[in-house]
Structure 1
Amino acid sequence: MSPIRLSDLAFTLEAVIDDAFGQKAVWVVAETSDIKNYPDRGYCFLTLVERENGPTGRHETLAKLDACIWRKNYHTIRDFEQATGVAFARNIQLLLLVSVGFSPVYGLRLEILKIDPSYTLGNIERERQAVLDALVQNYPDLVWQEAGQYITANQLLPRPTVIQRLALIASPGSDGWRDFRHELKQNSFSYDFVVDEFLTQVQGQGADRAICGQLERIRSSGVAYDAVVIVRGGGSQLDFGSFDTLLMGHTVAGFTIPILAGIGHERNVSITDLLCHESVKTPTKAAAFLIDHNRLFEEGCLQLRDRLSVAARDALQTAREQIDVETERLRFVTYTYFRDRHTELTEKAVTLRHLDPANVLRRGYGLLLRNGRILTQTTDIQSGETLQIQMHDGTITTKVVEL
């Protein structure tokens, strides 16, 4: 068989492929790899791959093709990121509309015309739902559903009345760490917080194990923390993968200290957000939540102080009025008592004046005396003895002649 020129083979392949796929577009599912993005030039080169788990558990590559996005369709990257919150990066499984082209010089290449964001969002949601279902099924004492809401043991922990001692999990030197510490320190109420830092990676491969390792350190430290705070700055949905794992969900749901999560922006809700004690959207809002929590306690104390002040003032006013009433009553009772006693004394004085022997003698009575002793009975008197009779105006001597 006579050999043919390479160009003849290439032109033949080009004709065959053009005949089969020319002017056609097909939807394919593939994973991104080896991305070379040139935003300033408006084009992107990448490799699309398909993998499956092999007998040993390792990923085996079934297919690999080069692909590109030219300037006219470069907006599809921005559209995809805005629709999903997922950064266009490697190792993402996408649903792509592509056209197939072959160049004798550059070989086979797929041109990406469109990326379907709903497929990516659906994949993320299906994976998250599978994790939540596994948690509910395998750990019903830690995670369960009520009225369509996920309830966890961590959510039901009592929240301290005042939160002061914190364990902070964050990436060292990150914006999230910096925003949280700044907001907490600069609070307008001058509240003091004690913050012990447990710094670690919070995104990327193995981040969930690193975070759970820090949670275990906190648990075994023996320190009575009021709360654990996990913070990170915003990012793409894929950056939240470490907060959507089964390990992270199980650890957070059953953790014995209330966990406050401030790990994303408004559009990001992770499994950790759903299962922790309290979730806010950013590190700054996490700090604000703690400040507001303590402010509510202080306002309650201030309200109680005001109520106590009013109650004390009212009680004193009532007591003053009662004292005035009792004083007036005492004054009246005292006046009446002394008036009555004065009347009694006056009556007794009159009686005493009437009973005074001198007054009795004035009325014509006399006193029979023996040597100055008053005699009141005839049996005490003997015939022939000499006695005295005291009259009003003097005393006379008399002799008893006969009894």
Structure 2
Amino acid sequence: MNPFSITQFNEYVSKKLNGDPNLKNLPLIGEVSGVSTSGGHMYFSLKDENSVLRAVIWRSNISRIDTSLIKNGSKIVALGDISAYARGGNYSFSIRMVESFGEGDLAKEYNRVKKLLESEGLFSREHKKPIPRFVKRIGVITSDTGAAIEDIKKIITSKNDYADIIIFPTLVQGIGSPASIIKSIETANNYSKSVKCIDVLIIGRGGGSAEDLAAFNDEDVARAIFASKIPTISAVGHESDVSISDWVADARAETPTAAADMAAINTFELREQIARNEQELKKSIAYKIKMERNNIKIQREHLIHAMSGKIREMKLNIDKAVITLKENNPTNVLSKGYALVTKNDIVVSDMSNIALDEIYTIVMADGSFEAKTTSKTQN
């Protein structure tokens, strides 16, 4: 046996394909999916219900084609040739002309579900549950083997050392994926209710073609997300991908990475902020105490000054009272040669109270004596 090299085989197949006249000027009908551009060329897939064909519009042909017809979900009729690439061992459909053929099946179903659920109010803001700011437990519904789950775990653990991550392994594309997503949503809600509370639920997957993301446009999946008692974040595909789950979930993240960032607060930054706030509070309290002490000192000085003034005033009043008492002291009056007449220790100050032949006590400054009245003269 004389074996061929891979290069020889690919070159042979390439020549056969490129040289077959039946594969030239072919009109093909298909639904556009996975549109991208690179180097001025446009790449996408044409598909029907059973097969997918890689397609390309080379930069030299783009100016002759209405590229607005080339969008995900649109159905087109394309004229072109089969072009084989020997080195890569693949072939694609090189397009020279495009006509519109209407809306593709996936796009039709997407618009049907979107219109129905929107009319029922499932997208209304009033039904959106707030995403908690401080979460203790984050549930993740996605494939446990894809890149999305690794990105989610990496983002959460890099910024948050408090929240737990609970993964619900889920089939997120292909046959059976809608049922798998619905089951995981129900399982997460039952777990949250009966085992440990889940604060937020991330539902999604990484990027892919329209077919890969189709499960998240399923009507039953959308209704399961809406019925979730746990606040939900939809994170499907890339930034430009918008699925039905994005519309019905409580919040939408552009990517699974963005969903992880949205769900988990940065506990490291939070601790630093708390420490800064604590220092600022201590400084503020110390400053307040200092100001209050100064204020108390000033108030004390004002009080002492006021009390000193009051004491001086009271002392002056006392001195005046003493002088007045001294001036009105009977003893002082008696020292001037006056006498005090008493009867049974009662001062007699009126001549009408003097009776004849009565004995009265006469008090003088240096003593007293008794006298008997023999006569009286009334002025």
- Normalising by structure 2, what TM-score? 0.66
Q: State the identity as a percent.
A: 22
| Aligned-pair CA distance for 1:76 | 3.8
Unmatched segments (≥5 aa) in structure 1: 1-20, 32-47, 52-58, 87-92, 101-110, 144-150
Cα offset, 1:206, TM superposition: 1.8
8 Å CA contact 2:81–2:94 kept in 1: the answer is: no
State the partner residue of 1:180: 152
Q: Cα offset for 1:201?
A: 0.9
Do residues 203 (structure 1) and 173 (structure 2) align?
Answer: yes
CA distance change for structure 1 residues 50 and 231 in 2, over 3 Å: closer, same or farther? closer
CA spacing shift, 1:121–1:302, aligned 2, 3 Å: farther
- CA offsets per residue over residues 104-132 of structure 1, 9 Å max, x none? xxxxxxx9743589979963444422321
Residue equivalent to 1:241: 214
What is the aligned length? 319
| Displacement after TM superposition at 1:203 (Å) | 1.3
Amino acid at match of 2:221: M
Is 1:291–2:264 an aligned residue pair? yes
Q: Hey, what does 2:201 align to over in structure 1?
A: 228
Could you tell me how far 1:307 is from its partner in structure 2? 8.2
1:352 lines up with 2:325 in the alignment: yes
Cα distance, 1:279 vs structure 2: 2.3
In the TM superposition, what are the counterparts of 1:248-397 in structure 2 within 5 Å?
Answer: 248-292=221-265, 319=292, 323=296, 326-369=299-342, 374-378=347-351, 381-397=354-370
2:39 maps to none
Per-residue deviation, 1:360: 1.1
Counterpart of 1:162 in structure 2 is 134
Q: Distance in 1 between matches of 2:163 and 2:348?
A: 104
1:135 aligns with 2:117: yes
Aligned pairs for 1:74-113 (under 5 A) are: 76=56, 95=77, 97=79, 113=93
Flag the 1:78–1:370 CA change in 2: closer, same or farther, 3 A.
same
Aligned equivalents of 1:175, 1:23: Cα separation in 2:
38
Partner of residue 35, structure 2: none
2:182 aligns with 212
Kindly tell me: are residues 355 and 270 of structure 1, through their superposed partners in 2, closer, same or farther at Cα, counting changes over 3 Å?
same
State the AA in 2 paired with 1:162.
F
What is the CA–CA distance in structure 2 between the aligned matches of 1:292 and 1:78, rounded to whole Å?
Answer: 46
Q: Distance in 2 between matches of 1:214 and 1:98?
A: 45
Q: One-letter code of the match for 1:130?
A: R
| Distance in structure 1 (CA, Å) of the matches to 2:209 and 2:289 | 64
Cα distance change, pair 120–267 in 1 and its aligned pair in 2 (3 A): farther
Match of 2:94 in 1: 114
1:208 CA drift (Å): 1.4
RMSD, aligned CA: 4.6
For the 8 Å contact 1:169–1:199, the answer to whether it is kept is yes
CA apart distance, 1:346: 0.9
SS at match of 1:166: strand
The residue type equivalent to 1:165 in the other structure is R
Q: Which amino acid aligns with 1:157?
A: K
Q: TM-score, normalised by structure 1?
A: 0.62
After superposition, the Cα gap between the structure-2 partners of 1:324 and 1:121, relative to the gap in structure 1 and judged at 3 Å, is farther
Over residues 332-360 of structure 1, what are the superposed CA-to-partner deviations in whole Å (9 max), with x where a residue is unaligned?
43233222211211111011111222211
Do the aligned residues in 2 keep the contact of 1:177 with 1:231 (CA within 8 Å)? no
Call closer, same or farther: CA 1:23–1:326 in 2, change over 3 Å.
Answer: closer
